[in-house]
Amino acid sequence: MTMKFRMERHPANPLLIPDRSSPWESVNVFNPSVIHHNGLFHMHYRAEGEDWISRIGYAVSADGISWNRLREPVLVPRDELENRGVQDPRVTEIEGVFYMAYTAWMCRDGVHGCYPMIARSTNLVTWERIGPIVTNALEYNKDHVLFPRRIKGRYVAFHRPHPNVCIAQSDDLVTWKREDMATVFGPGSETGWDAMKVGMNGVPIETKHGWLCFYHGVNRDSHYHTNAILLDLDDPTKVIRRPEGPILAPEEVWEIRGDVPNVVFSNANILVGDTVYVYYGGGDHVIALATCKLDAILDYVLNG
Ligand code: BMA
């Protein structure tokens, strides 16, 4: 695939692999969220063991490359509404408090559904549920993530009522009204890498040009890729520029094979110094890192 801009993979990839000695993360570790706080990298990641129920694990690192994991998960399914697992964490710090957006999967009488949930923490390890952005599990709304600050006094989140990326707004993170929701962008060209659906990746990065956001797209063969997009700072429903993409495609053997083949799926794009760190799941099986310089990705998003 010809790509106008390429994220650079780290030579130590994959950084995290399943831990055979740990029942809840013995099969797959993937789709990490990472934040950089007080000089440390903090990762929350989706993990599966032999029961195939997703739980959220936590790891910490001084350099973003070598990680120390907690022995026990930090978020596990709580009740019937989460009985099929908790997936795809995306942690945002807002005004000194951490919020985790995660997907809660349930199954009742053979019918599956999911909620875009939010939980809150002050220490990154103990989490208290706040509630979902959308309450109807049969809407399959997911890929939600909170912005790092309020806009015009309100909390803002991306979410994904299939197949489009949308915005929701709230005064208290509990009540999310339909009239405060709006579509931002949808799938790309019929035959392209993002033909079927799109969803947001990690927390948007505020720059003087706009919100620099990373998103994934799924093609007709169910392959997952990543691209970047620039949105208006005051009104993030306005797209400033969406280059064609992608900037990260499944290429390595552990991205092309894995548990689910041909997947690069990221919930983390953090700015540390002048570098953007994109952490992602390869093949729904391992965790990897790709980076780029902020200047270079902004030039691509504006002109590429
Ligand atoms: C999505 C989510 C992700 C997963 C991706 C590819 O629907 O389930 O957690 O990485 O599919 O399988």
Q: How confident is the model at residue 128 (pLDDT cuts 50, 70, 90)?
A: very high
Q: Return the residue whose CA atom lies nearest to atom 2 of ligand 1.
A: 88
Atom of ligand 1 minimally distant from the CA of 260: 12
Cis geometry, peptide bond prior to residue 163 (ω within 30 degrees of 0): yes
Q: What's 72's DSSP letter?
A: S
Tell how far the Cα of 177 is from the centroid of ligand 1, in angstroms: 27
Tell me the CATH class for 8-303.
Answer: mainly beta
Q: Return the residue whose CA atom lies nearest to atom 9 of ligand 1.
A: 88
- Give percent of the chain above pLDDT 90: 99
Which residues contact ligand 1 via a Cβ below 6 A?
A: 31, 87-88, 224, 260, 263, 265, 281, 284
Tell how far the Cα of 148 is from the centroid of ligand 1, in angstroms: 24
State residue 2's pLDDT score: 84
**Dihedrals phi, psi of 236, to nearest 5 degrees:** -70, 5
Atom of ligand 1 minimally distant from the CA of 54: 9
Tell how far the Cα of 114 is from the centroid of ligand 1, in angstroms: 13
pLDDT above 90 for 129: yes
* 143-167 residue pLDDT tens: 999 999 999 999 999 999 999 999 9
State residue 143's pLDDT score: 98
State residue 1's pLDDT score: 78
Atom of ligand 1 minimally distant from the CA of 224: 6
* 72-93 residue pLDDT tens: 999 999 999 999 999 999 999 9
- Which region, left, alpha or beta, applies to residue 210 given φ > 0 means left and ψ of -120 to 50 means alpha? left
Atom of ligand 1 minimally distant from the CA of 88: 9
Tell how far the Cα of 283 is from the centroid of ligand 1, in angstroms: 9
Q: How confident is the model at residue 16 (pLDDT cuts 50, 70, 90)?
A: very high
Q: Which of 52, 54, 88 to mutate for ligand 1's pocket (most ligand atoms within 8 Å of CB)?
A: 88
Closest to 260 (Cα-Cα) out of 219, 224, 227, 225? 224
Atom of ligand 1 minimally distant from the CA of 46: 9
Tell how far the Cα of 38 is from the centroid of ligand 1, in angstroms: 31
Name every residue whose Cβ is closer than 8 Å to that of residue 235 and which is 6 or more positions away in sequence: none
* 224-249 residue pLDDT tens: 999 999 999 999 999 999 999 999 99
Average pLDDT, rounded, for the chain: 97
Tell how far the Cα of 24 is from the centroid of ligand 1, in angstroms: 18
Tell how far the Cα of 265 is from the centroid of ligand 1, in angstroms: 7
* 279-294 residue pLDDT tens: 999 999 999 999 999 9
Tell how far the Cα of 141 is from the centroid of ligand 1, in angstroms: 13
State residue 56's pLDDT score: 98
Name every residue whose Cβ is closer than 8 Å to that of residue 10 and which is 6 or more positions away in sequence: 65, 288, 289, 290, 291
State residue 272's pLDDT score: 98
Across the range 14-33, mean pLDDT stands at: 98
Q: How much helix, strand and coil, in percent to the nearest 5, is found in the chain?
A: 10, 50, 40
State residue 235's pLDDT score: 98
